[in-house]
Amino acid sequence: MSDARSHEASPTAPRADVIPVPAVPRVDVRGGGRFPVHRIYCVGRNFADHAREMGAVAPASKAERGTPVFFMKPADAIVTGEVVAYPPGTADLHHEVELVVAIGHDAAPGVLPVEQAQALVFGYTVGLDLTRRDLQAAAKAKGLPWDTGKGFDHSAPVSALLPAADAGDYAAMALDLDINGVRRQHGELRDLVWDVADILHELSKLYALRTGDLVFMGTPAGVGPLLPGDHFHARLHPHGLVVDGVIAPARGAAMLAATASARQQTSLSKGAADGHDE
- In angstroms, the CA 225 to CA 137 distance is 14
Please give the residue ranges that form the binding site for Mn ion (CB under 5 A).
Answer: 96, 129, 219, 278
Burial class (CB in 10 A: 0-12, 13-18, 19+), 165: exposed
Peptide bond preceding 249: is omega within 30 degrees of 0, i.e. cis? no
Report, in Å, the least distance between residue 97 CB and Mn ion: 9
CB of 175 to Mn ion, least distance (A): 12
**117 vs 129, which CB is nearer to Mn ion?**
129
Name the residue with the smallest CB distance to Mn ion: 129
Tell me the torsion sign for CA atoms 132, 137, 142, 145.
Answer: positive
When the beta carbons of 213 and 278 are compared against Mn ion, the nearer one is: 278
Least distance in angstroms from the C-beta of 16 to Mn ion: 40
Least distance CB 128 / Mn ion (angstroms): 9
Which residue's CB is nearer to Mn ion, number 136 or number 219? 219
Minimal distance in Å, beta carbon 71 to Mn ion? 8
Contact 51, 45 (CB under 8 A): yes
Shortest distance (Å) from residue 278 CB to Mn ion:
4
Q: Which C-beta is closer to Mn ion: that of 96 or that of 176? A: 96
- Looking at the DSSP bridge assignments, the partners of residue 187 are 175
Nearer to Mn ion, 159 or 219 (CB): 219
Q: Report, in Å, the least distance between residue 192 CB and Mn ion.
A: 12
User: Which of 163/185 has CB closer to Mn ion?
Assistant: 185
Nearer to Mn ion, 79 or 163 (CB): 79
